[in-house]
Amino acid sequence: MTTKKTVKRQGFRTNESIVYPAHGVGRIVDVETQEVAGMKLELFVIDFDKDKMTLRVPVAKAGSVGMRKLADETTVAKALETVRGRARVKRTMWSRRAQEYEAKINSGDLIAISEVVRDLYRSEAQPEPSYSERQLYEAAIDRMAREVAAVEKTSETEAQRKVEKLIEASPKRKRAQEEEESREEAA
């Protein structure tokens, strides 16, 4: 077996985990050169194991498409703190909110994704979410868990459990739930 030497371009190197905004956490497996329309083009070959997908991104365009290194521990801590906050749900039509959530998820910004997780999380005691609400929540928690797992070097399942435990243990969320229950009893 031959081992490939690490190649570094634009601050990224092969075998490094990165975040691609529209797809989440992937790993640069190679930097290859292809000829396109008579011009040589250097491409990052990014593997997304979970999605069974390989993406080729021009090295020169990596920054402009929003590709970035994994979040640092400070950013992860801030994202985990964000999910503990009180859910902020705007009083706009669901279709508009859904578009905003989708944009946050595809931004690749861990803090924005954690806001979606916080806002769409439903505990067992709350009413069942709609199909589209559940789909957006699943996409957001999946993206967040993948990045937290990659940074903390744990499994995605452990990372997801950690995030959901933090949300459930949030004093702000518990207070809001108690207020809701007391309003229902009074009615």
Output the domain CATH number for residue 64: 2.40.10.170
What's the DSSP call for residue 66?
T
Judgement on whether residues 62 and 125 belong to the same structural domain of the protein: no
Beta-strand relationship, 53-58 and 24-36: unpaired
Has residue 20 been placed in a domain? yes
DSSP 3-state assignment of 86? coil
Q: How confident is the model over 92-149, as pLDDT tens digits?
A: 999 999 999 999 999 999 999 999 999 999 888 888 889 999 999 999 999 999 999 9
Judgement on whether residues 80 and 172 belong to the same structural domain of the protein: yes
Q: Which domain holds residue 13?
A: 8-69
Judgement on whether residues 64 and 106 belong to the same structural domain of the protein: no
The reply to whether the predicted model has a pTM over 0.85 is no
How far CA 67 is from CA of 44, 53, 113, in Å, comes to 11, 16, 16
Q: How confident is the model over 146-162, as pLDDT tens digits?
A: 999 999 999 999 999 99
Q: How many Å apart are CA 163 and CA 173, to the nearest integer?
A: 14
DSSP 3-state assignment of 17? strand
pLDDT at 184: 57
Has residue 3 been placed in a domain? no
Judgement on whether residues 28 and 99 belong to the same structural domain of the protein: no
What integer best gives the mean pLDDT of the chain?
Answer: 87
Judgement on whether residues 102 and 128 belong to the same structural domain of the protein: yes
Judgement on whether residues 63 and 77 belong to the same structural domain of the protein: no
| Burial class of residue 124 (count of CB atoms within 10 Å of its CB; 0-12, 13-18, 19+) | exposed
Judgement on whether residues 88 and 158 belong to the same structural domain of the protein: yes
Judgement on whether residues 173 and 122 belong to the same structural domain of the protein: yes
Has residue 42 been placed in a domain? yes
Domain count for the chain: 2
